[in-house]
Amino acid sequence: MKILVACEESQAVCIAFRKKGHEAYSCDILPCSGGHPEWHFQEDIKNVIYLMPWDMIIAFPPCTDLAVSGARWFKEKQVDGRQQHSIDFFMYFVRYNAKYGVPLVIENPIGIMSTYYRKPDQIIQPWQFGHGETKATCLWLMGLPKLKYTNIVLGREQRIWRMSPSPERAKLRAKTFPGIAEAMAEQWGYICFD
């Protein structure tokens, strides 16, 4: 399958699908940190999404202006338009799916999209996929099944929320856990072959 992983600089999901034999590409305005620039489009997703017919799209739109963890700044973000811009970007993927019917998932933390758009189809945690951490992650599924948990573990810490402030903090918090990336590739990688 040809798979586009939108807004993914880490390439975790892209690499997991590549390991399963798929032609997966990451796309982000940032350079990739996953070590495979040959599989990465460093540009706006809107310039890439129409390059070829995709069999699946996995989108990780930025959550900075949407996640409840930043609710104390919502008023400011509403006034200056940042929140509406982020809502519009999230909905760009919804409209793409409605128009083209390509199997698609949108990932974001718990935030305003549950109210603005609709409740997610599934909320997953890293500890359900082999990582002893908590980070509730919403999945809006369009033409894809819910992920089945692969390795439920104990030791559920909130490491993500205790990261010290730094220029890299947002990027580090946004990285997909390898167990989740592997589950996506394993469970969704067969969809178009049925």
7: alpha, beta or left, given left = phi > 0 and alpha = psi -120 to 50?
A: left
Question: For the chain, which domains are there?
Answer: 2-193 (3.40.50.150)
Best-predicted range by mean pLDDT (13-22, 149-158, 172-181): 13-22
pTM of the model: 0.89
Q: Is the pLDDT of residue 192 over 60?
A: no
Q: Is the pLDDT of residue 73 over 60?
A: yes
Pairing of strands 2-6, 40-42: unpaired
Read off the pLDDT of residues 133-168 as tens digits, 9 standing for 90 and up. 888 999 999 999 999 999 999 877 766 555 566 666
pLDDT score recorded for residue 194 = 44
| Residue (of 154, 105, 165, 163) closest to 126 by Cα position | 154
Q: Are the CB atoms for 158 and 110 separated by under 8 Å?
A: no
Half-sphere exposure of 154 (CA within 13 A, CB side): 0
Q: Is the pLDDT of residue 170 over 80?
A: no
